[in-house]
A and B are shown apart, each in its own frame.
Chain A
Amino acid sequence: MKRQNKRLTFVVVGLVAVSLATWLILTAFQHNLVFFYSPTQVLEGKAPIHHVFRVGGLVEHGTVHKDGLRATFTVTDLRHSLVVHYDGILPDLFRAGQGVVVQGRFAGNDVFMATQVLAKHGANYMPPEVQAELKHSLAMKAKGKA
């Protein structure tokens, strides 16, 4: 075999081997790589409920109660939900309907005591007028159906 072809083969085989190794490692650490659990996972016992962990989901409409810095709200994945208690400053993007990731401890039943609240935002970017129009046309559509 020519030396160049030898080196080419070495690179290709090496890359395949490293990809395989990486894939195995990532599969093995799948659980540790998850940044947050959904409320359903928590209630099904798939989260490390005896340690500090994170829960992610949407803030349910009409569940946000604020009393000074103390806040209570419900995080849902549209199947199950958890009641979150938090004492601290909420991020700017925090609002009903918004995705959030809360860190803290599970307090039993469906209560979660959070020590940190992070807001997630979607991949959508648009001007406020367009958002208003979109909302309007969606509302019209919903009306038409009903």
Chain B
Amino acid sequence: MIKYLHKYGAPRRFYAISGRVLPWSAVITVILFVSGLYLGLYWAPPDYQQGDAYRIMFVHVPNAWMSMMAYMALALFAAAGYIWNIRLADILAKCTAPLGASFTLCALVTGSIWGKPMWGTWWVWDARLTSELVLFFLYVGYMAVQASIEDPRRAAHASAIVAIVGVINVPIIHYSVYWWHTLHQPASITLTNQPKIYITMLIPLIVMSLAFMFFYLTMLLVRARNEILVREKDRQWVRNLARKIV
């Protein structure tokens, strides 16, 4: 299994395969975003309590989900790279961090914009908001460690520890609204219960969430391919590639 990973985890092989996947995932991302925004902004009905203001949910919730999912991916990639010395995993972890940080920042900003008219405040230090802010700092810390060490192997090793330790925060974010009294409401969509969102509002939310997932995949591939070229710039296959383009 690990040997198999090493074979397909070879950056050169990944570069070839991802080159074929990339156009498809890019097209799917655009289609999902356009249809998701149309469904969310025009097709979905207004909310009984929040009117049209609730529509910010269609960007806030996918960003918040992705901020946590990207962190899980970051920790998994970092752990795989750390334990089994998979070079591709190191690269994927490094390329996930700025994406995850952006999702987190967008979730915080859109949440703040939503909070002002509905709750009556831009920000409160409740457990949900604070733990999401901590997630942002974890991403930033990971990136800082990455950037401060020049050797890619050593940078990956050191930053992997930050990524793995920080994963504790993900369940804390998720359960914060159940463990403590928070201003933030509990989850509307859970795996075990029926969603508390009406179906005509749920569909745009699902489409937008898929759009963000494919956006993450697309951007990850783009970033990872760049990183591979930079790291392997002295290899023959990269030189051949460069010669072909010039």
Contacts and interface: CB of A to CB of B under 8 A. Distances in A.
Interface string B179-200: 1111101111000000011101
Interface in A115-137: 116-132
Contacts of B182: 35
B126 A127 contact: no
B78 to A, nearest CB: 10
A121 B172 CA distance: 21
A22 B119 contact: no
B180 A33 contact: yes
Nearest to A38: B181
Contacts of A101: 183
B21 interface: no
Interface stretch (A12-20, A58-66, A68-76): A12-20
A92 interface: yes
A92 B198 CA distance: 22
B47 A123 contact: no
A4 to B, nearest CB: 6
Interface stretch (B9-17, B63-71, B79-87): B79-87
A91 interface: yes
A36 B125 CA distance: 11
A125 B119 contact: no
Interface residues of A, number: 42
Interface string A92-124: 111000000100000000000000111111111
Interface in B24-52: 45-50
B164 interface: yes
B124 interface: yes
A126 B47 contact: yes
B47 A18 contact: no
Given A7-B82, A92-B117, A118-B121, A123 B186 contact: yes
A26 B168 CA distance: 12
B48 A93 contact: no
A11 interface: yes
Given A8-B83, A11-B79, A119 B118 contact: yes
A120 B124 contact: no
A119 to B, nearest CB: 6
A34 interface: yes
B83 A127 contact: no
B107 to A, nearest CB: 17
B167 interface: yes
Interface of A: 4, 7-8, 11, 14-15, 18-19, 22, 26, 30, 33-38, 56, 89-94, 101, 116-132
Interface of B: 2, 45-50, 54, 57, 79, 82-85, 117-121, 124-127, 161, 164-165, 167-168, 172, 179-183, 185-188, 196-198, 200-201
List the 4 closest A-B pairs by CB distance, nearest first: A91-B120, A131-B48, A127-B45, A126-B198
